[in-house]
Structure 1
Amino acid sequence: MTDLKDLGIHTLELDVTSDESVGNALTYIKKESGGRLDFLFNNAGTSCTFPAMDLNVADAEACFAVNFFGVIRVTKLFLPLLIEAKGTVVQTGSVAAKLPFPFGSVYSASKAALHQYSDVLRIELAPFEVKVVTLIVGGVLTNIADDRPLPKDSLYIDIEADGVQARRTMAKDNNPMPPNVFAERVVRKLTTPALPPRTIWDGHGALLVWFLDLFVPRFLIALAFAKRFKLTRLAALVQAKKAKSD
């Protein structure tokens, strides 16, 4: 964060799961900005890219605590400053909310919840001239990937090395967009003289996902994902083990 400080940008520690932490940030920003905020960028996020049946409820709650409930907490507390400035709330969504990527059920669900929350919030805040923009983000080079090993009794242990691992590294293996390039593109779209769009699709592969979501039947996408992430091979292994035990 030193490079940001060198540019004159104020940096603060912020835990979006803590009322106290968000409240402290609000107090500081309110004082420094004169009670106005032009943009609130909800960008905190955590990955929970793991087979659905290997995640416990606490894991799922922790993921939603950051990716969804953290957004609600921050937006609610900063709303008076946004109303004063007729500002814009920017939400970091994901292409994972649009397609059924295997081993990402809870992460995808947290982002899908964020998308719908933002769509409704946009309507509710319109009378106060506060805008809401959802970023539907493709591949960006970050360190968000979940690299925990599977439990030894996981149903997916036979495909961990190729199928599950391919999902973990999917973004990094497919020419992700550098963060500075992504940030510059998004800021440019958000600061045009016209009203900002309701959604911004950006990041590597985002437009491909837009096309697939809109035009390709879901069963074809499911078949492609099952093959790509070795679930078809797992099905064959399961049947072979069953036949051997009969």
Structure 2
Amino acid sequence: MSPKQNQKFALVTGCGQGGIGEALVTEYKRRGLHAIATVLPHESSEHLAKAGITFFPLDVTQEMSVLELKASVQELTGGRLDILVNCAGIAYTMTAVDTDVVAVQRMFDINVFGPMRMVRHFHDFIILARGVIVNIGSIGGIIPYLYGASYNATKAALHHWGNTLRVEMAPFDVRVITIISGEVSTNILKNDAHRELPNGSYYAPLAEEFKQHVKRTPRATDRFKYAANVVATSLSSSPPAWFWYGSYTGTFRFWDTFGSRTAWDSSLFKWFNLAKLKKAHEASTKKN
């Protein structure tokens, strides 16, 4: 066998500094795989260069960018890819009724259509290696977490697309794993920290609570601990279809399995102080 055939290759999208992708690609390198990272064309790659990790520019929303990456990976690996981790993603925090649909379309283009583009163009590399596809999902795709309706929708779509992909790839001995991620300590919320409710929103009585929500620092799992567990699962000979890991996933998994579809409604009503909103709305209705 040539050196390339002996070496295993793992490609992780979305490896900007401070995120899950950076932690994952670092862990693959630590375990002896040839780790390949991607960053946005305008994004700093200094952290990857310092770590000695191979990296390429990629915008998962652009077909040509994915094709250029494929050509680079072809040259590097000889057309084989043992692991593809679809990690690139963004968040959008807003009430469902106040959603900016254009912003959400962009998020779907990254969070859902991005993985679709990657698999569309890299599936032959993965089939040749009898490899693994890992999709980074979220508990947001499972429970009705407030102010995350649109983000939750992207993750739910990714989960169920991955379910079918798993069955379709089985004849080729390719495994597909969906990671149901709990709260993980990353900087994904930084771009939403400025967000405010629009003028005239029915949620205006909770405007201050909303501000605090987008600026929150969650009690979260360390991203490198998360990466160690996700990578170990992806390298397993018989990984689970869904791997739940991160803060709160044990509780959420239990209630998703054994609870009703509305099991979380009363808890979320309390956590997000919806009684205050209800009271304000009733007072406004009586006044008018």
Normalised to the residue count of structure 2, the TM-score between the two structures is 0.80
Counterpart CA distance in 2 for 1:34 and 1:151 is 51
Per-residue deviation, 1:169: 5.1
Q: Is it true that 1:73 corresponds to 2:120 in the alignment?
A: no
Per the alignment, residue 239 of structure 1 pairs with: 282
Per the alignment, residue 115 of structure 1 pairs with: 159
Counterpart CA distance in 1 for 2:57 and 2:265 is 41
Whether the 8 Å contact between 1:14 and 1:21 is mirrored in structure 2 is yes
- For residue 96 of structure 1, the aligned residue among 106, 125, 140 is 140
Q: Is it true that 1:196 corresponds to 2:196 in the alignment?
A: no
Per the alignment, residue 210 of structure 1 pairs with: 253
Counterpart CA distance in 2 for 1:176 and 1:45 is 18
Per-residue deviation, 1:166: 5.2
Q: How does 1:1-246 map to 2 (within 5 A)?
A: 1-145=45-189, 146-147=192-193, 148-162=195-209, 164-165=210-211, 167-168=213-214, 172-173=217-218, 175-192=219-236, 194-245=237-288
Higher strand share: 2
Overall identity of the aligned pairs, in %: 34
Moved over 4 A (4+): none
Counterpart CA distance in 1 for 2:57 and 2:199 is 37
Look up the SS of the partner of 2:135 in the other structure: strand
Counterpart CA distance in 2 for 1:166 and 1:223 is 21
Is there any run of 5+ residues in structure 1 with no aligned partner, and where?
A: none
Per-residue deviation, 1:21: 1.0
- For 2:229, give the aligned amino acid: R
Look up the SS of the partner of 1:120 in the other structure: helix
Paired residues, number: 241
Higher helix share: 1
Counterpart CA distance in 1 for 2:264 and 2:113 is 30
Whether the 8 Å contact between 1:166 and 1:229 is mirrored in structure 2 is no
Look up the SS of the partner of 2:185 in the other structure: coil
Normalised to the residue count of structure 1, the TM-score between the two structures is 0.92
Is there any run of 5+ residues in structure 2 with no aligned partner, and where?
A: 1-44
